[in-house]
Amino acid sequence: MAEKEFLLTQEGLNQHKEELEFLKTTRRTEIAEKIKVARGFGDLSENAEYDEAKNEQAQVEERINYLENMLLHAKVIVDNEAQKDVVTIGSTVTYTNMKTNKDITYQIVGTAEADPFSGRISNESPTGKALLNLRVGDTTTVETPGGKVELKVIDVKKG
Centre a 10 Å sphere on the Cβ of residue 76 and count the other Cβ atoms it contains. 15
Cα–Cα distance, 38 to 31 (Å, whole number)? 10
Encode pLDDT of 79-102 as tens digits.
665 567 899 988 999 999 998 999
At 102, phi and psi to the nearest 5?
A: -110, 140
Is the overall model pTM greater than 0.85, yes or no? no
In the chain the domains, ranked by start, together with CATH numbers, are 6-76 (1.10.287.180), 81-157 (3.10.50.30)
Give the DSSP per-residue string, the chain: -PPPPEEE-HHHHHHHHHHHHHIIIIIHHHHHHHHHHHHTTS-GGG-HHHHHHHHHHHHHHHHHHHHHHHHHTEEE----GGGTTB--TT-EEEEEETTTTEEEEEEEE-GGG-BGGGTEEETTSHHHHHHTT-BTT-EEEEEETTEEEEEEEEEEE--
Q: Are 13 and 73 in contact (CB under 8 A)?
A: no
Is the pLDDT assigned to residue 1 strictly greater than 70?
A: no
- pLDDT band at 51, cuts 50/70/90? confident
